[in-house]
Amino acid sequence: MTEEPHADRDPALADAAATERGANASDRDDDIVDGDAATHLEALVFDAVAPAPPTAGAEGLPIELVGQHLRLSGTVIIGLHHRLSDFVNNHEGLIQLRDVTVLRRNGVPTKVTSPSIWVSPDEVTLIGQATDVDAREIAGRDFLQKRAFQLIVVTPGHTLTGEVHLNLQAVLSAFIESPSPVWIPMTDVRARSLADRRVISRYGFALVNRRHIVAATELQPGMVRGRGVL
């Protein structure tokens, strides 16, 4: 019986194996940050997922889905709903995100893309839009006049500041204590990652998952956002 050569017995084979491992490794391995699932996902499926082809016909609303350890960008079709908030608060089951790109925690796109991904909204902390908010998102069904409150929100993965817009007769404390709506519309949102406080993201409009709120308070007069707040 002829014994096949083994890498740990043959120095030449060992060197060849090490060279092959080095060729397959990429610089991103050095950039992996503990808890940044996007980086680990890229390392696992890089070159295994083909780039998403352009979507023909259907136009989606560009959004970002942000969780404690995962961040995605893509588009969502809200159908007959007039507002993103109406779609999300009335949607049941998984949400389909199209033309998806996996982002690192700091928002930098990775090379991992997919034509579509279904995401559980229960695991998402924030659904954000970087573009200017449509006036309908902060107005009532009949475009009632509203009052803006500066709010600080702490979630398991982020600290957020932004504005909530309530009816003139509404009481902020009652709104915060209420179980509905599940997704709270906020404007001019500033989100700081608790895992890496250097990472700050801004959204013109965002929906915050009420079930992920650990603490919330109104920004007191004289306090400046970004100075002693986040």
The burial of 1, by beta-carbon neighbours within 10 Å (0-12 exposed, 13-18 middle, 19 or more buried), is given as: exposed
- Does the pLDDT at position 104 exceed 60? yes
**CATH number for the domain including 167?**
2.30.30.100
pLDDT 10s digits, 6-62: 444 555 555 555 554 444 444 444 454 555 666 655 555 544 444 444 433 357 899
DSSP secondary structure code for residue 29 in this structure: G
Residue-range definition of the domain harbouring residue 212:
135-218
46 lies in some domain? no
Q: Is-above-0.75 flag for pTM?
A: no
18 within some domain: no
Q: How confident is the model at residue 185 (pLDDT cuts 50, 70, 90)?
A: very high
Specify the number of domains making up the chain: 1
Spatial distance between the Cα atoms of 147 and 166, rounded to a whole number of angstroms? 5
Considering the domain boundaries, does residue 32 fall inside one?
no
Number of other residues whose CB lies within 10 A of the CB of residue 95: 19
* pLDDT for the residue numbered 228: 47
179/21 Cα distance (integer angstroms): 52
Q: What is the dihedral of CA 175, 178, 179, 181, to 10 degrees?
A: -30
Residue 187 lies in a domain: yes
pLDDT at 30: 47
